[in-house]
Amino acid sequence: MKVHEYQAKELLAAAGANVPKHIVCKTADEVAAAFDQLSKGGGGVMVKAQIHAGGRGAGQLLGHPDKLGGVKFCASKDKARSVAETMLKYPLKTLQTGPNGQPIKTLIVQADAEPDKEFYVAVVFDRGVGLPVLMASAAGGMDIEKVAHDTPEKIIKVPFSPETGLLPFQARRLAYELGFTGDQVGKAEGIMLALSKVYLAKDATLAEVNPLAITKSGDVMVLDAKIDFDDNALFRHKDVAALRDEGEENPAEVRAAKANLNFIQLDGTIGCLVNGAGLAMATMDIINYHGKAHGVGPANFLDVGGSVTADGAIEAFRIILSDAKVKGILVNVFGGIASCATIARALVAAGKEVGFKVPVVVRLEGNEVTEARAILAAAAGELPTLKTAADLTSAAKLVVELSK
């Protein structure tokens, strides 16, 4: 689960990190009022769009004549108000949002803290060693994946125990290695320890500060932060679960999650309904394998789970068909312990309930498959677009043929 920058910063501040003051705003009036509170001494403020995607500063408001992005320094109250009005009006497109951008519903006004030098620090899980690891680099503020790829020697990694967390000496040593001096060392250490603390206490999968900055005035601060949480651990963190902003998520994916379906929207035209995550990925792959020459690919990943029920299948078909791009559906189910006949009856019930407007190719294999094929064949009169295929290759070829 993702949260907004301001939520991540508030968690880090509560854990002892030095974070610039901010005020969360929903309207341009609130932004103007916040300007008065945070621009003491007339220094101006930063106005920052809050969406669940990175690259906001380099992004662009779609449909706005100037090339305004999602982060803007405002020297006056009027400027802050007009920037806020614009940001709340146009969707923000960044490298991570997709072509249509993301509407901005929340802004923060942040006390200005102009960076002099920027660092990257993050806690991630290192699958190779099976431990959380603090990653740090003096090449902050930029695309860390690019730094990791081009100049891996510029990234320092410190694995730490999930029982003790990052130890103060580890954070201190890192601060010195990154080049902090004097009073800055303690502040940098505090930010690193806060990252470790939040990561472990709240079951995060990523806790990142980028940039961690030395400001022009010599302070050391969290200027931007991102925290992702382990969905599997939300059951024990009601406070974290309450931070969820469903408006930032794909509506079809939110709906699927409520029906216990694993669903991810993709760009292609063939919907997939599969039992099991590995088989669901492999089904996308075989559609692509036979379809790519015709410009045909998967429209979604969908794992209905181990057992296929009529209710689950009905909701799954509704979600797939809510995507106007879908021109065909491939159902690939391996009936293991559950009988294929039960699954076939569930598919027929779903078809009658939902109405198949596009070709639906069904490939069933496993337990009682002959009976299952007979059930599907008997429903052909009522469900004319429903086709059965004898094996996975012919199913993939048929759905591509019917939808290209």
Partner 1 sequence: MSILVDSSTRVITQGITGGAGGFHTDQSLLYGSQFVGGVTPKKGGATWKGEKSGKALPVFNTVAEAVRATGATASMIFVPPGGAADAIMEAADAGIALIVAITEGIPVLDMARAKRFLKTKPGSRLVGPNCPGVITPGQCKIGIMPGHIHKPCAAGETGIGVISRSGTLTYEAVFQLTALGLPQSTCVGIGGDPVIGTSQIDLLEMFEADPGTRAILMIGEIGGTAEEEAAAFVAKKVKKPVAAFIAGQTAPPGRRMGHAGAIISGGSGSAADKIAALEKAGIEVAPTPADLGTAVQKALARKK
Binding positions for partner 1, 237-256, rule CB under 8 A: none
Instruction: List % helix, strand, coil for the chain (3-state, nearest 5).
Output: 40, 25, 35
Catalytic annotation present for 189: no
Structure tokens that stand for 95 in this block? 């490298």
Catalytic annotation present for 120: yes
The CA-based diameter of the chain, rounded to the nearest angstrom, is 81
Torsion from C-alpha of 242, 247, 252, 253, nearest 10 degrees: -40
Q: Stretches 170-178, 190-198, 208-216, 283-291: which one binds partner 1 (CB under 8 A)?
A: 283-291
- Name which position in 65, 100, 235, 258 contacts partner 1 (CB under 8 A): 235
Q: Is 161 in the site for partner 1 (CB under 8 A)?
A: yes
Sign of CA dihedral 214, 209, 101, 81: negative
- Please check whether residue 360 is in contact with residue 403, taking contact to mean a CB–CB distance below 8 angstroms: no
Query: Which of 68/234 has CB closer to partner 1?
Result: 234
Which among 6, 118, 120, 248 is annotated as catalytic?
120
Any bridge partners for residue 49, and if so which? 107
Q: Is 275 in the site for partner 1 (CB under 8 A)?
A: yes
Query: Which of 73/301 has CB closer to partner 1?
Result: 301
Query: Which residues are CB-contacts of 229 (< 8 A; sequence separation ≥ 6)?
Result: 1, 2, 3, 202, 203, 204, 205, 237, 240
Q: Is 368 in the site for partner 1 (CB under 8 A)?
A: no
Query: Which of 213/261 has CB closer to partner 1?
Result: 261
Binding mask 174-213 for partner 1 (x = CB under 8 A): --------------------------x--x-x--------
Q: Stretches 65-73, 101-109, 171-179, 280-288: which one binds partner 1 (CB under 8 A)?
A: 280-288
Q: Is 283 in the site for partner 1 (CB under 8 A)?
A: yes
Sole residue written with tokens 């669903």:
263
Q: Is 133 in the site for partner 1 (CB under 8 A)?
A: no
As measured in angstroms, the least distance from the Cβ of 213 to partner 1 is: 23
For residue 129, the 8-state DSSP code is T
For residue 122, the 8-state DSSP code is E
Which among 5, 118, 189, 208 is annotated as catalytic?
208
Q: Is 149 in the site for partner 1 (CB under 8 A)?
A: yes
Binding positions for partner 1, 300-359, rule CB under 8 A: 301, 303, 306, 334, 336-337
Query: Which residues are CB-contacts of 348 (< 8 A; sequence separation ≥ 6)?
Result: 375, 376, 379, 382, 383, 386
Binding mask 23-62 for partner 1 (x = CB under 8 A): ----------------------------------------
Q: What is the DSSP string of 153-219?
A: GGEEEEE--TTT-S-HHHHHHHHHHHT--TTHHHHHHHHHHHHHHHHHHTTEEEEEEEEEEEETTS-
Choose among 34, 29, 27: nearest CA to 104.
27
Interface residues with partner 1 (CB under 8 A)? 96, 124-125, 127-128, 130-132, 145, 148-149, 161-163, 200, 203, 205, 230, 232-233, 235-236, 262, 264, 266, 274-289, 297-298, 301, 303, 306, 334, 336-337, 365-367, 391-393, 396
So which residues are the catalytic ones? 120, 208
